[in-house]
Amino acid sequence: MRPHNQHLRSEKVIIDMECTTVLLIRNEKENIEPLTRDVLDVYSENNIDGEVLLLDDGSTDGSSEICDRLSESDERVRTFHHGVNRGRSHAIRTGFHEAKGDIVIIMDGDRQYEPKEIPLFLAKIREGNDVVTGWRHQRSDPFIRKFISRVYNRYIIRRKFGLNIKDQNSGFKAFVRDKALTMGFEPDGYIGLHRYILPLAALNGMKIEEIPIVHYTRPSGRSYIKFYTVPFIALKDLRRFNREHTDLIRSHRSGKASRSSAGKSGR
């Protein structure tokens, strides 16, 4: 029986490469291999010292075996298995802990994102950003999902948290790994803390830049997102997020207000 890796590393991971691309996988058997090959080609074509970490979140369709085969055939590919489906947030946390690169790219495994844009994310990190997040400016998803996203980003991300972000839930992001590990991304107790990963980064003083990216229609497989539950989940998690980060949120708002006042008085 194939062993499942269920525990995060307790020892310090040695940083010995530039980039780890974490592909989040749950039942993506037709997408894993072409996406992995595309990322590796980008590494080769751009002289990027990197690896691919296949984060298998409890797949049941044969994806796990494909991940193992790919990691056995190329030393630049590794696999980490969650024995059961733990959800996107836990997969992201595992990716942060298991990555070897000093920059961690998080990418959905559904082939809706373009690996050729990885060098752009890396360049933006090198410019001094701690987080680079993609904006699906021409998003290839059903209308209802795009509508819910617009409302969420306008009233929660921009108005409540004051972030100049159009697409918090894009599945293509890059993080400085050391910063990601210390920002307190602990999803236990949440349904989906990943929906607040950018506010959490901002509250911890991380510099964020958003860039427009390509977004494709899913070529195969299916999404597990139930759009009609997302607003209720997001609001429930928001209440917990507010409770756990009350002081940071107040400090963040106070700091923005002070900067705004200083800017006006200096005119």
Tell me the pLDDT tens digit for each residue of 59-103.
Answer: 999 999 999 999 999 999 999 999 999 999 999 999 999 999 999
In a domain, 56, yes or no: yes
Parallel, antiparallel or unpaired: strands 101-108 and 77-82: unpaired
Q: To the nearest 10°, the Cα dihedral for 141, 145, 147, 148?
A: -150
In whole angstroms, give the CA distance from residue 82 to residue 182: 22
In a domain, 124, yes or no: yes
In whole angstroms, give the CA distance from residue 219 to residue 169: 20
CATH number at residue 246: 3.90.550.10
Q: Which residues pair with 108 in a beta bridge?
A: 24
Give the helix/strand (H/E) hosting 167: none
Half-sphere exposure (CA, 13 Å, Cβ side) for 173? 24
In a domain, 7, yes or no: no
Residue 113 domain boundaries: 17-265
In a domain, 12, yes or no: no
CB-based contacts of 160, cutoff 8 Å, min separation 6: none
Q: What is the pLDDT of residue 226?
A: 64
Shortest CA distance to 186 belongs to which of 123, 105, 245? 245
In a domain, 2, yes or no: no
In a domain, 223, yes or no: yes
Give, for all 267 residues of the chain, the pLDDT tens digit: 344 454 454 344 444 699 999 999 999 999 999 999 999 999 999 999 999 999 999 999 999 999 999 999 999 999 999 999 999 999 999 999 999 999 999 999 999 999 999 999 999 999 999 999 999 998 888 888 888 889 998 999 999 999 999 999 999 999 999 999 999 999 999 999 999 999 999 999 999 999 999 999 989 887 766 666 888 899 999 999 999 999 888 877 766 655 555 555 555
In a domain, 4, yes or no: no
> What's the total number of domains in the chain?
1
In a domain, 6, yes or no: no
- Integer-rounded Cα Rg, in Å, for the chain is 18
pTM of the model: 0.88
